[in-house]
Amino acid sequence: MCPSPGTEGVERGYVIPIGGAEEKLSNPTILEKFVKLCGGENCRIIVIPTASQLDETGPTYVDLFHELGAGDVVSMPIESRSDAKREDYLSELKAADGVFITGGNQLRLSTILGGTPVAQAIRWLNAHGTHIAGTSAGAAIMPEHMIVGGGGGSTPTEDGVTLAPGLGLTNSFIIDQHFRQRDRLGRLLSALSYNPFVTGIGLDEDTAAFIDADGVFEVVGSGAITVVDPSGLEYSSMGHVQAGDPVSLIGLKMHVLADGGCFDSRIRVANMP
């Protein structure tokens, strides 16, 4: 699935996956940058708490974004596929400068939002300049292919990852979150062995990739982003190993980028300022 077609002369909005557990109180750098990007006191942010089953998740982010200077913030409690077709919700979305998708269970996101008018609206909005941020599960669903499960550890295996369709806001990256904290290198590598076209990004907690319209991202936050570039892959054993076996991958390139680091997906080049 390619990102939604844009309009000539209109720049796409940022796609901002966050690794989860973003700082909300003492130094909320990521959320502050998101609010500023959306327009600060003049902006309208829609919070989608669908992934979470906690009633307080949406209102918590509404209060937080108000405290950070956002002008208008609305929580949209989409709990069913019928909710994702509501005309009043679609009207609210069309006026958004930013959309924030909370954490929780990414399969709730895909099974409730997938293919609905709300999902289509989010894709259209991003193509026409609205910034889309998501944390944890909300980050995982952003690309074309969404990681929904898999074991920990650093070694890729034949059955090391479970994938499902994502929102398709980008087809240049596949995203994993809580990366270092939950030891998820192996499952990201397993995902890349299925599709060596994309670049893998593993987001530590309290760390975000601010991906611009050209597929260039900047790292923001207290952790790091592990970038796995499979474009030079010379050999993969994924096609002939047995269930549960480790997978050999030769020719991968990996970068670890802390705050301020950048990666250009067009030319596969990483740099620090």
Catalytic residues: 136, 178, 205
Which residues does residue 133 pair with via DSSP β-bridges, in sequence order? 16, 100
Which residues does residue 143 pair with via DSSP β-bridges, in sequence order? 170
- Burial class of residue 87 (count of CB atoms within 10 Å of its CB; 0-12, 13-18, 19+): exposed
**Which of 2, 11, 19 is CA-nearest to residue 177?**
19
**Angle (nearest 5°) at CA 103 between 264 and 220:** 35
**199 phi-psi bin (left φ>0, alpha ψ -120 to 50, beta other):** beta
Neighbours of 25 (CB within 10 A): 7
**Which of 183, 180, 174 is CA-nearest to residue 152?**
183
Neighbours of 185 (CB within 10 A): 20
Q: Is 57 helix (H, G, I), strand (E, B) or coil?
A: helix
Distance CA 171, CA 174 (A): 8
